[in-house]
Structure 1
Amino acid sequence: MKPLISLNLWKWVDDNRHAFEPPVGNKVIWEDSQFTAMIVRGPNARRDFHVDPSDEIFYMLRGSMVLEYIQDGRRRDQVIREGELLLVPALTPHSPHRPAAPSNTSTPARSCGHAEPAVMSSRSDHPSPGNRRRVDRGTAMARKNTAPAPTPVTPDGPDPRHRWDRPLQAPGHMQVDFEERVDFRRLHAYRLARVRQALAGSGLGALLVFDQYNIRYISGTVIGEWARDKLTRWSLLTGTGEPWVWDFGSAARHHKLYAPWIPERQSLAGMVGMRGAVSPKAGLFKQAAQEIKRILQAEGVATMPLGIDLVEPPFLFALQEAGVEVRDGQQTMLEARMIKSQDELTLLNMAAAMVDGVYQDIYEALKPGVRENEVVALATKRLYEMGSDCVEAINSISGERCSPHPHNFTDRIIRPGDQAFFDIIMSFTGYRTCYYRTFSVGRATRPQVDAYTKAREWMDAAIALIKPGVTTDKIARAFPRAQDIGFDGEMAAFGLNFCHGIGLGLHERPIISRLNSFDDP
């Protein structure tokens, strides 16, 4: 047991004044207590109500406030003046209001002790701690700590709405009023519900993601492809709250205008290191880690592990120094992303339809004298004209370069009789293709026909096994052994002898191969 030590409240406020700046504006006094007291600085302009599973005590330190509450179905107001105390019984719907302080007021004026986040959202009927944090200025409240209540997931949230009685759609790209195509708000709700489900069963309190695919999956936000590997934007989702997004400068302001599904105060500008270009000595990593820690505290999950997918080492170290326990969050995200909804399948099919058309263009252009890179240019131009948001890579490989597969293109001139192999990796509205085709320039030889026939036999046998309930090790056994395709072992053969899930990311679960599926089906 630690020694019992009293503290001077106003000195504590002065010492921790930095914690009362946006976006959260609060700080827990005793972080490891069963009974939490929190100082929160307003103002608060919200008019939504929340309920708490335990009693709350408000104490007004400076100024006055109005607590609006519902009793017997009617709205009522109670003024709390400076120095006054108010008990709010458990499960009472209430909404504290206080206007902004005069410009010469600098004291954080509300102390509120509450353990778990609130259970309502201004955007839906689901709970949102973001609303709970938007409390008035000049009050103190306290209540006994209970386990944080996770944000509810409604039954229809994670429902993929598959329609196996109908062919998979590949509609036009325009939205129309006479038929249903992709419903993007439904897509957002499904993806967020999937993450909430995975997070609830993971033992993690929150997910902090830097992987662009995970940020898009959680928040429905994206910026230019240049940002994909910069680690300069991130998103946080606690088990009890709504998504937070830190983005590159003006992008945060853009999201406030055009992404209303993100709470406005939770779309923030952020920048820490840009892959090491900014030294940790600048203190940006430490500031960001402290900001995240305050949000975890406010949303009631600070004592639970934080899952992270990809991260710059200084960010990881700063979080650990702030007392945050960090674990692998990528497994939780990939588990969430594995099952695709009807909207996701439609977007994948629309992307594949674009590549269908581009392969017709390649077929018509493929002739002696054309270079591999010219085919890449032709395909890239056509894909962007058709609406692709990212042409990630196009493998264009011909003649003797086809074996062993080099996974890149050159300026080689295509010759009569060449075999030419292509793989188009691009995305439409974020959803990717990994679409291969092989051509013969001129008439195919008998060895080429035999090799193609054998490859199709292996592929078709594996595809026929892919059904609900079949484990991946059984599918992998239909693949050829490494030695059957000219390699010494499965590691060397892996790049040409596996299949994979696809979605916002190129490689999603399941990954099926003779290298990994026998040990981890």
Structure 2
Amino acid sequence: MHVESMDRSNQAAIDVNKLCHDRLARVRAEMEASEFDALLLFDQVNIRYATGARNMQIWAMRNTVRYCLIPRDGPIVLFEIGGRREPAEGLPSIGEVRPARPWFHYYAGEHADTYARDFADEIAATIAATHHSSVKALRVAVDRCDARGTSALRAAGLYLGDAQPLMEQARRIKTTEEVAAIRQAIAVAELGIGRMHEALRPGMTENALFSLLHQTNIEQGGEYIETRLLSSGHRTNPWYQEASGKVIAKGEIVSFDCDLIGPLGYGADLCGAFVCGVERASPAQRDLYRRAYDQIEHNTALLQPGSSFREILEKAQRLPATYHQFHRVAHGNGMSTGEFPAIGGRPGFQEGPIHDGEIEEGMVLCVGSYAGLHAGHEGLKLEHQLVIRENGPERLSKSLWDGVFMDP
């Protein structure tokens, strides 16, 4: 298998202005249906979704250094690191850029309470001016804010609610431009997967192999990878073991989860498996692959518009009790590799519905399976990505059928 470059044949030109405009329209529609006078966003993915603006995104996920205010009846104000305007250039949705007022310890030290109070007073005054009303009448939805910031906002007279459900609902249906961007991310991921497959040799480490996916993503204009899920041999069972310095041996399974955030901030959540240095998987390895493949095919067919999440869980295929049970039938994907809905339980918890709802046209979903025996030895993870159309799921990623694993 020789991999030269990304196949761009299925990628339409993406109108970035339309992409941003349509996403903001979805946010505004959810605001109109809510009781809130403004959204105050700290989650960097939510800021990116609503405005298109990105700046030091990974670092800003940990440090409260930039945030965004979306009044119900006014222009968006982006509070940026140092007041820099460059991240907002060419983004018509942003009405004003102001300096952020960070209060986390690295920036504020012993003055954190003062900085937090200044931040909250500015937010309250800005919303009040937009609504021409007193601060105490205003209800603000906040997605992620630490205890000091939350206390300061309440002390400034604002009533606070949770913005995360609103943003998840806005993000649940993908626009035409978003689906095109997701196709682009998948193309990057599949190029990286091909390069890993081509390079795999006995004696290389898991870290060295996984680095090729990172390199490909950055090289193609992608952004980051959310997890380090690549393992080989006995480390494939149980799942959720991160890439390490382990040397990969001939005949071992290598399984991986991309969790890749590609160009324009969109995700490709693809999982797959190789066998190192041989042309044909062993019977035990083929059995694992077939079980995971059949489960995914069965569960994908259940994702029809109008089907309830509970109905899907009732009809979903399960592996025998001697196998680990993957916790999720399907989940949403967009500007992160895990979005609403989550159809199934959570890792380490009893399986069951955690979201109510139904499959809707325009959702982008991932369907996966993990096949590995409780008794141990190897396991493997498979996952593909699709968009829901009027007549059912349309696959966005390549087929999981693999002749190395599948019987003729």
1:284 to 89, 112, 115: 115
Shift of 1:202: 1.6
**Is structure 2 residue 236 aligned with structure 1 residue 402?**
yes
Q: Distance in 2 between matches of 1:445 and 1:285?
A: 60
Shift of 1:433: 1.3
**Is structure 2 residue 338 aligned with structure 1 residue 507?**
yes
Instruction: Classify the secondary structure of the residue corresponding to 2:259.
Output: strand
Shift of 1:260: 4.4
1:315 to 149, 153, 156: 149
Residues 66, 79 of structure 2: 8 Å contact kept: yes
Within 5 Å, give how 1:205-224 maps onto structure 2: 205-224=37-56
Residues 458, 478 of structure 1: 8 Å contact kept: no
Q: Distance in 2 between matches of 1:454 and 1:477?
A: 19
Q: Distance in 1 between matches of 2:287 and 2:24?
A: 47
2:385 matched residue in structure 1: none
Stretch moving more, 196-205 or 391-400: 391-400
- How many aligned positions are there? 337
2:391 matched residue in structure 1: none
**Is structure 2 residue 321 aligned with structure 1 residue 484?**
yes
Q: Distance in 1 between matches of 2:230 and 2:88?
A: 41
2:213 matched residue in structure 1: 379
Shift of 1:451: 1.6
Distance change (3 Å), C-alpha of 1:485 and 1:433: farther
Task: Kindly provide the CA deviation profile for residues 71-123 of structure 1, in whole angstroms up to 9, marking residues without a partner as x.
Answer: xxxxxxxxxxxxxxxxxxxxxxxxxxxxxxxxxxxxxxxxxxxxxxxxxxxxx
Q: Which amino acid aligns with 2:47?
A: I
Relative to the length of structure 1, the TM-score reads: 0.61
1:97 matched residue in structure 2: none
Q: Distance in 1 between matches of 2:322 and 2:333?
A: 25
2:80 matched residue in structure 1: 247
Task: Kindly provide the CA deviation profile for residues 383-431 of structure 1, in whole angstroms up to 9, marking residues without a partner as x.
Answer: 2112212233342200000101133110111111111101112222100
**Is structure 2 residue 287 aligned with structure 1 residue 460?**
no
Instruction: Classify the secondary structure of the residue corresponding to 2:152.
Output: helix
Distance change (3 Å), C-alpha of 1:380 and 1:238: same
1:274 matched residue in structure 2: 104
Residues 208, 234 of structure 1: 8 Å contact kept: yes
**Is structure 2 residue 167 aligned with structure 1 residue 333?**
yes
1:474 matched residue in structure 2: 311
Q: Distance in 1 between matches of 2:291 and 2:308?
A: 24
Instruction: Classify the secondary structure of the residue corresponding to 1:429.
Output: helix
Q: Distance in 2 between matches of 1:367 and 1:478?
A: 41
Distance change (3 Å), C-alpha of 1:169 and 1:347: farther
Residues 473, 518 of structure 1: 8 Å contact kept: no
Shift of 1:305: 1.6
Instruction: Classify the secondary structure of the residue corresponding to 1:193.
Output: helix
Within 5 Å, give how 1:431-446 maps onto structure 2: 431-441=266-276, 442=278, 443-446=280-283
Instruction: Classify the secondary structure of the residue corresponding to 2:85.
Output: helix
Q: Distance in 2 between matches of 1:276 and 1:482?
A: 49
Distance change (3 Å), C-alpha of 1:169 and 1:499: farther
Q: Distance in 2 between matches of 1:169 and 1:339?
A: 25
Q: Distance in 2 between matches of 1:308 and 1:439?
A: 43
Task: Kindly provide the CA deviation profile for residues 258-316 of structure 1, in whole angstroms up to 9, marking residues without a partner as x.
Answer: 444422xx201113223676347441110111111111111216413210100021110
Residues 342, 355 of structure 2: 8 Å contact kept: no
2:265 to 430, 441, 447: 430
1:81 matched residue in structure 2: none
Distance change (3 Å), C-alpha of 1:449 and 1:339: same
Segments of structure 1 that go 5 or more residues without pairing to the other structure are 1-167, 172-179
Shift of 1:254: 1.7
Highest RCO, 1 vs 2 (Cα 8 Å, sep ≥ 6): 2
Task: Kindly provide the CA deviation profile for residues 37-79 of structure 1, in whole angstroms up to 9, marking residues without a partner as x.
Answer: xxxxxxxxxxxxxxxxxxxxxxxxxxxxxxxxxxxxxxxxxxx
Distance change (3 Å), C-alpha of 1:353 and 1:408: same
1:390 to 224, 229, 247: 224
Within 5 Å, give how 1:42-121 maps onto structure 2: none
Distance change (3 Å), C-alpha of 1:519 and 1:247: closer
Distance change (3 Å), C-alpha of 1:360 and 1:204: same
Within 5 Å, give how 1:190-201 maps onto structure 2: 190-201=22-33
Distance change (3 Å), C-alpha of 1:207 and 1:407: farther
Segments of structure 2 that go 5 or more residues without pairing to the other structure are 1-7, 346-350, 358-408
Residues 425, 433 of structure 1: 8 Å contact kept: yes
Q: Distance in 1 between matches of 2:100 and 2:289?
A: 51
* Structure label with greater radius of gyration: 1
Task: Kindly provide the CA deviation profile for residues 142-200 of structure 1, in whole angstroms up to 9, marking residues without a partner as x.
Answer: xxxxxxxxxxxxxxxxxxxxxxxxxx9832xxxxxxxx611111111111110111011
The Cα RMSD (Å) is 2.3
Relative to the length of structure 2, the TM-score reads: 0.77
Instruction: Classify the secondary structure of the residue corresponding to 1:393.
Output: coil
1:226 matched residue in structure 2: 59
Instruction: Classify the secondary structure of the residue corresponding to 1:477.
Output: helix
Q: Distance in 2 between matches of 1:506 and 1:287?
A: 35
Q: Distance in 2 between matches of 1:354 and 1:256?
A: 26
Distance change (3 Å), C-alpha of 1:340 and 1:210: same
Q: Distance in 2 between matches of 1:260 and 1:197?
A: 18
